[in-house]
Amino acid sequence: MTDTGARTDDANSRFGSGLERLNGGMAVPALLGAVLLAYFVVPFAVFFAQVGSVDVIGGLADPATQDAIRTSLVTAPISTAVATVFGVPLAYVLSRASFRGKRLLEAAVLLPLVLPPIVGGVMLLTVVGRYTPIGSTAAALGVPLTDSYAGVVLAQTFVAAPFLVVTVRAGFDDVDPRVEEAARTLGYGRLETVRLVSLPLARNAIAAGIVLTFVRALGEFGATMMVAYNPRTMPTRIDVLRIARGLEAIVPIALALLISTVVVVALVQALVGSVRRY
C-alpha cells in the first residue's frame, strides 16, 4: 500500500472513530457545546469581517497605538511571571497542606475574581495610590506605583493571578500523593519531590494557568484604567479609540490583541504540549 493510501485509510479510521463516539452518546453534548462555541465565534467573525474595509496597516502605524501594543507586550509577561513565581507555591500549599484558616485563604484567592475589575482597581489605589504611605514612598524613590508600568503590572497581577492559582491547584490535586510519598521514601526531600515529581506531573495545569493568566493580563482594562490609565495598554487604547473615532477605529489594535493571544497560546502548547485523553 502506498503512503498516500495509508494516510487516507488512517484519516478514514479517525473519522469513523469520531462518528462512533458521537453516536455513542456524545451527539447531544456535542450539539449543545456547538451552540456555545458558535456564540463565541460568530461575534469574532462578524467583527473582523470589517477588516477588509479598515486601513489596518495605517491604524497600526499610529504611534499611540504602537506604544499601547508595546506596553501590553512588556507588562503582561511580567505580570504573568510574577503570578507564576508566587502563585505556583501558593497553589501547592493550598493543595497539600491542612491548617486553620485555610478556607479564608482560599476565599481571599477568589476575591479578585468576584470583584468587578474597576472595584479591584479602586481597592489597589487605597494601598498603592500616590497619597498612601506605600505609594508616596515609592514615588519619592522614583518608582511611582500609579500611572506607570509598575501600576499596570500591579493591576494586571491583581486581576489575573487568581486564574493561575486556581488552575494550578487543580493540577496538584490531580497528582496522587502516594507518588510523592514514594519519592520521599527514596530519599528525596520535600523541595526535590516538588521539583522532580509534582511539577512535572502538573505541568499541563501549570501551562494552562500561565496561558489563562497571560491572556487575562493582556486584556485587563478595569483595574488598569483606575491604577494606570497612562501609559496606555491595548485595552485602554481601544477604549480611547472607541470614544474618539468609533468602532471601526478599534479593529487594527483589536486584531493585534487577538494575534498576540493566539501566538502565546500556540507557543505554550508547543513547549508543554496539550493534555491528552485516552
pLDDT tens-digit map of 154-181? 999 999 999 999 999 999 999 888 888 8
Task: For residues 257 and 219, give the distance between their C-alpha atoms in angstroms, rounded to a whole number.
Answer: 8
Cα dist from 14 to 6, 23, 30, 70, 276, whole Å: 12, 14, 17, 43, 16
Whether the CB-CB separation of 236 and 68 falls below 8 Å is answered with yes
Low-confidence ranges of the chain (pLDDT < 70): 1-25, 50-52, 272-278
pLDDT of residue 269: 72
Give the C-alpha separation, 80 to 156, whole Å.
Answer: 9
- Residue with the three cell numbers 518608582: 143
- Distance between CA atoms of residues 30 and 224, nearest Å: 38
Distance of alpha carbon 201 from alpha carbon 165, whole angstroms: 16
pLDDT at 2: 54
Give the model's pLDDT for residue 161. 96
State the average pLDDT for the chain: 86
Residue 30: its pLDDT value, please? 86
Given a contact cutoff of 8 angstroms between Cβ atoms, the answer to whether 104 and 94 are in contact is no
* CA angle (264, 270, 275) in 5-degree steps: 100
Q: What pLDDT does 277 receive? A: 42
Query: Residue 274's pLDDT is what?
Result: 53
C-alpha dist (Å) from residue 270 to 39, 41, 213, 265, 274? 27, 23, 18, 9, 8
What pLDDT is attached to residue 155?
A: 96
Neighbouring C-alpha atoms within 13 Å toward the C-beta of 83? 34
Cα–Cα distance measured from residue 65 to residue 241, given in angstroms and rounded to the nearest whole number? 9
Q: What is the pLDDT of residue 272?
A: 65
What pLDDT is stored for residue 22 in this prediction?
A: 57
